[in-house]
Structure 1
Amino acid sequence: MIQSPRFPPLLTGEVVSRHTDPFDKAVSRAIAGVDSGTIFYSEAPDALRAALVLAPETPLEEAILAVYVAQVGLAESLGALAPPEVPVHFQWPDRIKVNGAVCGSVRFAANVSDPDAHPDWLVIGIDVPFIPASGEPGENPNQTCLYEEGCVDITPIALLESWSKHTLLWLTYFMDSGFERVHNEWRPRCDTLGKMIDYPRPGLFVGLDEKGRMLLREGVMTETLSLIKFAEHL
């Protein structure tokens, strides 16, 4: 029997069936009016799949910055549980990387898409594979999973517990003092920062502005790209 995860104060958990996507469940329950701070999660042993429902009190442009909070929370939880030589990085806008290869992603959705509108809810989901989805280990050098990176002593439930604690801590920092502290923690973990990239479009990834938007330089022009563009539209 799988032990139920322990969540920090202000957060509660609700398990979903093996055949249900926690993100989809979180969105449907958010639409129905579930409490903010509810985490929907799967008990599947091959991956951590979970989604957190938030009820922001700010416009979407500011609320969407919680996606960075969830990424920092995941990086810190992996840092606490994984062997010390296992580096965790981000690839904007939504990829998690372990030892230089993609190892999971974040998803996010809200009930509005206008940056100035106040969302009723924001759902942020994470998906981190523990074992290869298919094929032989190492078959795709750009994709990895936690067990291939030496994290054999971590379980999805343990990572879920840790992610919930670290994410709540960083949500508190974010709400108390704004984006700067989150940005300072996120920036050194982004391994494409300062480099030429092809996705989401070609250019030099200069950094993030104070609103968390990507600054992408192509020639003499610099444009901004918001995470809002990558939210799942319902």
Structure 2
Amino acid sequence: MTQLSEARPADLVLPPAFTGLLAASAVDAHDEACRLAQEGAEAGTLLLAESGGTLSLAVVLAPDEPLGGARRALFAGMWALIEAIGGFGPPEIPVVVSWPDTLHFNEARLAGGRLGWPEGCTDEAVPDWLVFSASLIASKRHAGDPGLTPDSTSLEEEGFPADLARPLAESFARFLTKAFEIWTEDGFQHLAGRYLDHLALPPQAREAQIVDDGSLRLTFAPGVTEDRPLRPALVQPAWRDPETGTVRL
């Protein structure tokens, strides 16, 4: 049986809408949060896990629109993750995102985001829940010589503070709250703009926009555009190692 323990207030200081849970080390935070959501866990349930050099968190969300548009919650989660990581890292190093959910730090892969929804839910139906989760490489000591995995980095390598799991989860929750406030009060495009500020674009692209279904629309010249759909990228995240279920080294 999966072991979960509700976080004590001293462990996680979260906004009022959140409930913190600590997972046993072997638990996949994303899958466990989806299971809890399926069983009726309330929105704001935030799961934190550490295992094998990986730091993971997952939060249950309560969408209020059909799945086709609700998937844009990924960008709220990614912006919150960007801001949380940026707040603890060296300020001169920017946080950069590859479309739509791979996070790079110091030009190397550090983390990735995922979005889960109920199996069988159609794009036209309002899902009972969503789960946004993130996995970060906390340490690469288990991977041997860093020169063997030059495309990735870790919190440890980049000089982030030790024991960052709880402070990062707390910061993420605060920024996620802010993200949905921006979406509600100012409109989705204001939130999308904050995400796009960190997005790596093809050098020929002149403009980028996230459209209603979450696709990325790139403009290369007047009348010359390209749409990159969101859903396929979420089904098979490019950053995720299918063998380990964590960020590819």
Deviations 1:123-181 (A, max 9, x none): 11100111115121243221111111121446122111111111111112112332111
Aligned residues: 224
1:143 aligns with 2:144: no
* Secondary structure of 2:148 counterpart: coil
Superposition RMSD in Å: 2.6
TM, length-normalised to structure 1: 0.85
- Distance in 2 (alpha carbons) for counterparts of 1:205 and 1:229: 24
- Distance in 1 (alpha carbons) for counterparts of 2:103 and 2:90: 17
Question: Which residue does 1:121 correspond to in 2?
Answer: 129
Structure 2 regions of 5+ residues with no counterpart? 1-7, 237-249
**Shift in Å at residue 215 of structure 1?**
2.4
Question: Which residue does 1:30 correspond to in 2?
Answer: 37
Question: Which residue does 2:190 correspond to in 1?
Answer: 181
- Distance in 1 (alpha carbons) for counterparts of 2:145 and 2:121: 40
1:160 aligns with 2:166: no
Checking the alignment, whether the CA contact within 8 Å between 2:26 and 2:51 is kept in structure 1 is no
- Distance in 1 (alpha carbons) for counterparts of 2:235 and 2:21: 22
- Percent same amino acid among aligned pairs? 28
* Secondary structure of 1:104 counterpart: strand
Deviations 1:75-121 (A, max 9, x none): 11122221212210101122011011110101111115533221111
What amino acid maps onto 2:139 in structure 1? Answer: I
**Residue 134 of structure 1: which of 143, 148, 152 is its match?**
143
What amino acid maps onto 2:93 in structure 1? Answer: V
- Distance in 2 (alpha carbons) for counterparts of 1:228 and 1:8: 30
What amino acid maps onto 2:137 in structure 1? Answer: P
Question: Which residue does 2:208 correspond to in 1?
Answer: 207
- Distance in 1 (alpha carbons) for counterparts of 2:144 and 2:188: 40
Structure 1 regions of 5+ residues with no counterpart? 197-203
Cα distance change of structure 1 residues 47 and 126 upon mapping to structure 2, 3 Å threshold? same
- Distance in 2 (alpha carbons) for counterparts of 1:21 and 1:80: 26
What amino acid maps onto 1:33 in structure 2? Answer: G
